[in-house]
Amino acid sequence: MIKPGTKNLITDVDGIKIGNADDRKAMTGVTAIVPDVAAVGGVDVRGGAPGTRETEVLNPDCLVERVNAVVLSGGSVYGLEAASGAVMALAKQGRGFVNKGICVPIVPSAILFDLANSGDKDWGDMPPYRQLGIEAVENAGTDFPLGNVGAGYGAAAGRYKGGLGSASLITDDGVQVGAIIAVNPVGSVLIPGTRHFWAWALEQEGEFGGLGAPALTDDLPLDMPKESRLTENTTIGVVATNIALSKSEARRVAIMAHDGFARAIRPVHTPFDGDSIFTLSTEKKELTEPRPLGLAKIGAMAADCVARAIARAVYNAESLGGLPGYKSE
């Protein structure tokens, strides 16, 4: 049997911690995904307008095998500086590979666009993201709220407030998979004309309202959602597992996990989105099933977790900056 973990968060995966930091004045934030020890990493970028850092190092043909953290940030290009802050915080903790006495943390990162929300971006010569990256790493733990927090603090999802979501799945034989997603898409997370999430069929234990199947009487409209904020978008996230994976296997899981985007957002992977998913393997457990089949199961679980995390992000986001929270209407 496969079911959500105790927390129904990515931290149900052994060895994963999450830290968040927000700037409420600027209406933006940062999320740090910090493994207890350096984790095997992979990434897959599907959106047409990505903003990333150190994704190339995760290619299977590159030297570095493991990463010390992944950072998700608001702020578009300014938010890439959050990873620099995370690097400094991790180095202070002695996390990273050591070369000639110098600690070198590896911190891939991705950003979303929240610059056009109603927050005050008049930050002068020093945007807040470096400090937010430091604080996010320092805040890392196993419990965290969903919705208006971290990289999802200033996010939007159509006419509703976007946010940060997470979900997990665990099998009877101890396979753990979780996802954390900052949701700020061009597409809609809701079926047009309804309160139902596109991901409704994957819902577990009423985690995003328990509305069940939508009662559709007309054909679904095929138009682009009217509420889309074109050029102000991107959904980014991380999936994690306790199963030992190679870099190429971690990339395959990230590829499969993008199916969760397609199940929860319509349209997705547009020219305006920078949709990116990282994979982390904490290597706490060896895979007991035959390799291709077991890897396929992990990828399928990751996709389901991603879809649920997207719905949970919007479901838990509260009204902010002129955008209503889902539960406020």
Question: Which DSSP string do the residues of 209-232 spell out, in sequence order?
Answer: ----S----SPPP-SPPTT--TTS
Selected from 3.40.30.10, 3.60.70.12, 3.40.1410.10, 3.30.70.100, the CATH number assigned to the domain covering 2-317 reads: 3.60.70.12
301: enclosing H helix or E strand: helix 291-316
- Least confident among 21-25, 225-229, 304-308: 225-229
Q: Please report the sign of the dihedral spanned by the C-alpha atoms of residue 65, residue 107, residue 16, residue 304.
A: negative
Q: What is the helix (H) or strand (E) element at residue 16, kind and residue range?
A: strand 16-23
Res. 242 pLDDT band, cuts 50 70 90: very high
Is residue 226 predicted with pLDDT exceeding 80?
no
Check residue 160 and give its pLDDT. 95
The stretches of 59-190 forming alpha helices (DSSP H) are 81-92, 129-138
Instruction: Read off the DSSP letter of residue 317.
Output: P
pLDDT at 139: 98
Q: Convert the pLDDT of each residue in 124-161 to its tens digit.
A: 999 999 999 999 999 999 999 999 999 999 999 989 99
State what percent of residues in the chain have pLDDT above 70.
100
pLDDT of residue 75: 98
Q: What percent of the chain has pLDDT over 90?
A: 93
Q: What is the pLDDT of residues 254-303, one digit of tens each?
A: 999 999 999 999 999 999 999 999 999 999 999 999 999 999 999 999 99
Q: Check pLDDT > 90 for residue 217.
A: no
Give me 11's structure tokens.
């931290």
CA atoms of 132 and 60, how far apart (whole Å): 30
Rounded distance, CA 257 to CA 206, Å? 22
Q: Centre a 10 Å sphere on the Cβ of residue 77 and count the other Cβ atoms it contains.
A: 12
Please name which of 235, 229, 234, 187 lies closest in space to residue 321, comparing C-alpha atoms.
Answer: 229
pLDDT per residue over 51-79, tens digit each? Answer: 999 999 999 999 999 999 999 999 999 99
Q: Which tens digit of pLDDT belongs to each residue from 159-197?
A: 999 999 999 999 999 999 999 999 999 999 999 989 999
**Of 231 and 208, the one with more pLDDT:** 208
The token pair that represents 48 in the structure block? 């047409």
In the chain, where the domains are located? 2-317
Does 225 score more than 90 pLDDT? no
16/305 Cα distance (integer angstroms): 15
Decide: 328 and 318 in contact? Cβ < 8 Å: yes
